[in-house]
Amino acid sequence: MISRLPTVQSGRDGYERLAELARETAMLSASRLELDLSQVGFFAANMAAPLGAVLARVADRFNAIEVVSVPEMVEHILRKNGFLTQYRYPALDDVNRTTIPFRRLQRSDEGLFADYVERHLRGKGIPRMSEGLGKVFKKKIFEVFQNAVIHSESELGIFVCGQFFPQKQRLDLTIVDAGIGIRESVRRFLGGKMSSVDAIRWALQEGHTTKRGPQPGGLGLKFLQEFVRLNKGRIQIASRFGFYEFGDGQESFAKMAADFPGTAVTIEINTADTESYVLASEIPPESIF
């Protein structure tokens, strides 16, 4: 079959378009998908992660995938971050070092993800942080990965990708699983029916987690939420029919027009932020007065 993908931005519209691709290809098995990108005017580089998750489901049903008619600018960015190299396109050196490369990791690859964050976020315009806060910041991003490992039941792995936009002064990092979605996880835990939007709303409340056992769980976003509030950044979550966004001090929940399989979390950092950040515990008491 041939599927034509339109422009994909990092937001609800972009996830709805990828969800529509998932719906179109849901019954395709032991066949061939030709993904035509000729109509893509812009493709947000971090959205390679959710696209990778959707196509992994297609490939898992013994389908061959070919990506064709890629506009030059889109091809350049998706070769630089390594996404198109899966589909026989040659790699392209990222001379400006603005990409955060596309990676598909297994649920057991926690060490590899930690190395990925340490290596690829360095030098990408993240605001100045104390050593202690820097460690906590990376730990909280790692917790988003751990959440995908613990809650998603994704047999196809975890997908990550990002992009540093020096002119727009922002850094986007997206982490995606191809699992059961927040709605199903919360339904199993609480029992009964719940919409995708309400499930995301429940999961974001402090202390709520579907993880069983003595160790704390949850989406791991409360610290990051507070950071992006101060930083004037953004967080987005897409899972099944639910979409959540926190930015500009406001949060919004919306129902999506199509079912995005799995869960995607995007953290957007405002790299124009000139503030320096420290943990409250690192501030000497005498400096408060």
pLDDT in tens, 209-223: 766 554 445 556 778
Q: What is the mean predicted confidence (pLDDT) over 241-265?
A: 95
Continuous H helices in the chain = 12-24, 48-60, 72-80, 110-120, 131-151, 181-190, 196-204, 222-231
Q: 161-178 burial, b for 16+ CB within 10 Å, e for fewer?
A: bbbbbeeeebbbbbbbbb
Predicted model pTM: 0.90
The helix/strand/coil state of 60 is helix
The helix/strand/coil state of 126 is coil
Q: What is the mean predicted confidence (pLDDT) over 136-165?
A: 87
The phi and psi torsions of 222 (rounded to 5 degrees) equal -60, -45
In the chain, % of residues over pLDDT 90: 62
Q: What is the mean predicted confidence (pLDDT) over 247-272?
A: 94
Find the helix or strand (DSSP H, E) in which 72 lies: helix 72-80
Structure confidence by residue, pLDDT tens digits, 180-213: 999 998 999 899 899 999 999 998 887 777 665 5
Structure confidence by residue, pLDDT tens digits, 65-111: 999 999 999 999 999 999 999 999 999 999 988 999 999 998 888 88
The pLDDT of residue 61? 97
CA dist., res. 129 & res. 132, Å (int): 8
The pLDDT of residue 85? 97
Find the helix or strand (DSSP H, E) in which 116 lies: helix 110-120
Contact (Cβ atoms closer than 8 angstroms) between residue 187 and residue 199: yes
CATH of the domain at 236: 3.30.565.10
- 274: which 2 tokens? 């000139």
Per the structure, the complete domain to which residue 207 belongs is given by 2-288
> pLDDT band at residue 55, thresholds of 50, 70 and 90?
very high
Q: In the predicted model, what is the mean pLDDT of the chain?
A: 89
Looking at the DSSP bridge assignments, the partners of residue 249 are none
The pLDDT of residue 135? 84
> pLDDT band at residue 284, thresholds of 50, 70 and 90?
very low
**Does the pLDDT of residue 151 top 50, yes or no?**
yes
Number of compact structural domains in the chain: 1
In this predicted model, which residue has the larger pLDDT, 207 or 231? Answer: 231
Contact (Cβ atoms closer than 8 angstroms) between residue 123 and residue 136: no
In this predicted model, which residue has the larger pLDDT, 234 or 155? Answer: 234
In the chain, % of residues over pLDDT 70: 93
DSSP 42: -
CA dist., res. 255 & res. 61, Å (int): 28
